Amino acid sequence: MIKAGLFGIGLDTYWPQFEGLLERLEGYQQQIANKMESFGAEVVTVGLVGIGNSI
């Protein structure tokens, strides 16, 4: 079985500027993880890594 790590990145400056952006990106990341799992991979998702303040 393939084991893969998955994380997203983003600039924290944008979170307050665009309502729902952070949640949308987290949702996209989950969709990618689900797709990888559908191919038989074990996915370790560590969330989003922010540039600037921690998320």
Amino acid letter for position 44: V
Amino acid letter for position 5: G
pLDDT bucket at 12, cuts 50 / 70 / 90 = confident
Give the integer Cα–Cα distance in Å for 30 and 7. 10
pLDDT digits (tens, 9 = 90+) for 29-49: 999 999 999 999 999 999 888
The pTM for the full model equals 0.80
Residue reference for tokens 């922010």: 50
Give the integer Cα–Cα distance in Å for 23 and 41. 24
pLDDT bucket at 53, cuts 50 / 70 / 90 = low
Enumerate the domain spans of the chain. 3-51
Helices assigned H by DSSP within 18-55: 21-38
